[in-house]
């Protein structure tokens, strides 16, 4: 029995056990007498099939999972390195030099992109694994509804991110430049809208491709979202900010019109999203995670703004360390969420699965319901991944930092600490959300990626501060 057939059979079992088939099965999926006979046969074979399921899932976790995770992880890393090299270049552009608040937008918008695209990937991956994409009509409705949803959320949160950037920049200076406010708002809103549309289409294509080739989209979709997302979003933000900066003095109407047009489309996206029941639910309840995550990422942006002014070498590593941590924890979050959807009803944890995990249990538990093996698999990618990405940065002679042994040791330590904390927090957060009847597909990843941005920026800043204090003898560090 193949993994796809096993998942379908387990899902049919749960449909019968739930005693609410219509709510759990896709529309028109149980139209014939043969469908009901299949479920009855499935229940009679429950005991034997569960053994097959356990064996198949173990094989996937040991072999297919590691391969499916590592290749997209490296691809995502190349995208993050490219984005980091771009940030290393654009930090010298006039708009970044004259309007330093743009730095605050970088983690906020990249985090927003991650929050929206990764939650989109997680939601659609869950639907794909549960067989909802097998119905063409339901597949179309899910795609259109979810794409409209992220466009609506991107526009609103992009606008709020620009306001947050202005307010955070106001704290140390107490001065507001009206033209800079327009520039930040226009750049943020248009970047969020455009990048979300492009990346949303890419994510839908990746999930459809994965399903066609029997690849678990939980392992592939979120890293690929990040591989293209950081570079696309940063390029859009830098180009748009530079364009608005060059025209703001003579053509204020240009940035103002961009803001008005983008905001006027919000009701349209909301109306389309409300027509699909799954996206309608997120449209009503999914704002708190993305807005809270935006605020957390903006605080990370404030730290970046301060740190880049003191240590130029931070820029080229900031997107890499944040992206690696966010990608790995998003994969873990997506996998745990899908497993919960397959094994339990919202509000009830599977047997032998508890919320109050100790750090030892999170990484060393051997129970069937444990995610420790996946956590170790993800953790094992941190050092090799960062070594590869750091070598690429060094080979391309980018950045403002010498790659000494001391620097790499401190940098890798910071990266490991970040991922360990994120993986531990992820298990507690997702299980707590599930028990509280909150769907982690919609809520967990925004919080986790935002925490990844904040932890990554903070730990990287502390690493550079530590290197400077011990006398790294790198003239660019702290210069």
Span 270-310, pLDDT tens digits:
999 998 888 888 888 778 888 888 888 888 888 887 887 77
**Contact (Cβ atoms closer than 8 angstroms) between residue 370 and residue 477:** no
Return the pLDDT at 60. Answer: 52
Q: Is residue 132 very low, low, confident or very high in pLDDT (cuts 50, 70, 90)?
A: confident
**Burial (0-12, 13-18, 19+ Cβ within 10 Å), 264:** exposed
Q: Which residue matches tokens 């707590």?
A: 432
Q: What is the mean pLDDT of residues 172-194?
A: 86
d(CA 12, CA 35) in angstroms, rounded, equals 10
- Confirm whether 363 is domain-assigned: yes
259 located within any domain:
yes
DSSP state of 399: S
Same domain, 133 and 38: no
94, pLDDT greater than 60: yes
304/261 same-domain check: yes
Query: Where is average pLDDT lowest: 53-62, 246-255, 271-280?
Result: 53-62
Which one has a higher pLDDT value, 159 or 116? 159
pLDDT of residue 370: 59
Give pLDDT, residue 266.
94
Same domain? For 296 and 419 the reply is yes
Residue 447 lies in a domain: yes
pLDDT at 475: 43
Helices (H) and strands (E) in the chain, counts: 20, 0
Dihedral of the alpha carbons of 265, 268, 269, 273, in degrees to the nearest 10: 170
pLDDT higher than threshold 60 for residue 342:
yes
pLDDT band at 316 (very low <50, low <70, confident <90, very high): confident
* 84 and 161 housed in the same domain: yes
Closest CA to 223 of 384, 335, 60, 61: 335
Q: Do both 152 and 29 map to the same domain?
A: no
Round to whole Å and give the CA distance between 283 and 271. Answer: 10
More confident residue, 388 or 318: 388
Q: Which whole number is the average pLDDT over 65-79? A: 78
The mean per-residue pLDDT over the stretch 332-336 comes to 84
Q: Residue 189: which domain range?
A: 46-469
Same domain, 228 and 271: yes
Domain count across the chain: 2
pLDDT at 199 > cutoff 70: yes
Cα gap 322→302, rounded to integer Å: 15
348 and 409 housed in the same domain = yes
The pLDDT tens digits of the residues spanning 11-37 come to 444 444 444 444 444 444 444 444 444
pLDDT of 433-471, one tens digit each?
998 888 887 788 888 988 988 999 899 989 988 988 887
Does 82 lie in the same domain as 37? no
Please, which pLDDT band fits residue 401 given cuts at 50, 70 and 90?
low
Statement to judge: residues 337 and 432 lie in one domain = yes
Give yes or no: residues 291 and 304 share one domain: yes
């Amino acid at each position: 029995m193949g993994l796809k057939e096993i998942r379908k059979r387990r899902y049919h079992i749960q449909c019968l056990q739930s005693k609410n088939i219509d709510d759990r099965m896709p529309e028109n999926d149980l139209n014939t007498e043969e469908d009901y006979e299949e479920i009855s046969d499935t229940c009679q074979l429950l005991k034997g099939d569960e053994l097959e399921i356990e064996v198949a899932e173990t094989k996937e976790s040991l072999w297919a999972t590691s391969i499916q995770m590592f290749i997209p992880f490296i691809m995502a890393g190349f995208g993050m390195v490219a984005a980091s090299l771009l940030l290393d270049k654009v930090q010298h552009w006039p708009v970044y030099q004259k309007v330093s608040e743009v730095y605050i937008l970088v983690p906020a918008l990249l985090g927003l992109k991650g929050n929206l695209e990764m939650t989109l990937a997680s939601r659609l991956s869950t639907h794909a694994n549960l067989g909802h994409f097998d119905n063409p009509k339901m597949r179309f409705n899910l795609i259109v509804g979810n794409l409209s949803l992220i466009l609506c959320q991107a526009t609103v949160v992009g606008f709020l991110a620009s306001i947050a950037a202005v307010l955070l920049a106001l704290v140390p200076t107490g001065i507001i430049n009206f033209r800079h406010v327009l520039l930040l708002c226009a750049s943020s809103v248009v970047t969020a809208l455009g990048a979300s549309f492009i990346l949303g289409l890419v994510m839908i294509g990746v999930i459809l491709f994965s399903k066609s080739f029997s690849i678990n989209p939980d392992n592939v979709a979120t890293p690929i979202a990040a591989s293209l997302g950081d570079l696309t979003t940063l390029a859009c933000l830098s180009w748009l900010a530079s364009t608005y900066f060059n025209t703001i003095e003579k053509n204020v109407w240009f940035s103002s019109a961009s803001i008005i047009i983008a905001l006027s489309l919000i009701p349209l996206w909301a109306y389309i999203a409300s027509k699909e029941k799954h996206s309608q639910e997120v449209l009503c309840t999914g704002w708190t995670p993305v807005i809270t995550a935006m605020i957390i990422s903006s605080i990370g942006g404030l730290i970046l703004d301060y740190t880049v002014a003191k240590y130029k070498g931070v820029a080229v590593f900031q997107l890499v360390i944040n992206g690696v941590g966010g990608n790995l924890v998003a994969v873990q979050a997506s996998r745990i969420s899908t497993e919960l959807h397959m094994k339990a009803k919202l509000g009830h944890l599977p047997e032998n699965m508890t919320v109050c995990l100790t750090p030892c249990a999170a990484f060393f538990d051997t129970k069937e319901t444990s995610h420790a093996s996946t956590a170790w698999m993800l953790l094992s990618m941190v050092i090799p991944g960062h070594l590869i990405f750091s070598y690429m940065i060094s080979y391309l002679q980018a950045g403002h930092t010498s790659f000494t042994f001391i620097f790499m040791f401190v940098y890798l330590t910071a990266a490991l600490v970040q991922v360990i904390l994120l993986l531990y927090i992820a298990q507690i957060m997702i299980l707590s959300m599930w028990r509280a009847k909150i769907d982690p597909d919609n809520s967990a990843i925004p919080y986790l990626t935002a925490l990844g941005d904040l932890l990554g920026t903070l730990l990287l800043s502390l690493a550079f501060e530590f290197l400077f204090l011990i006398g790294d003898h790198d003239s660019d560090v702290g210069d």
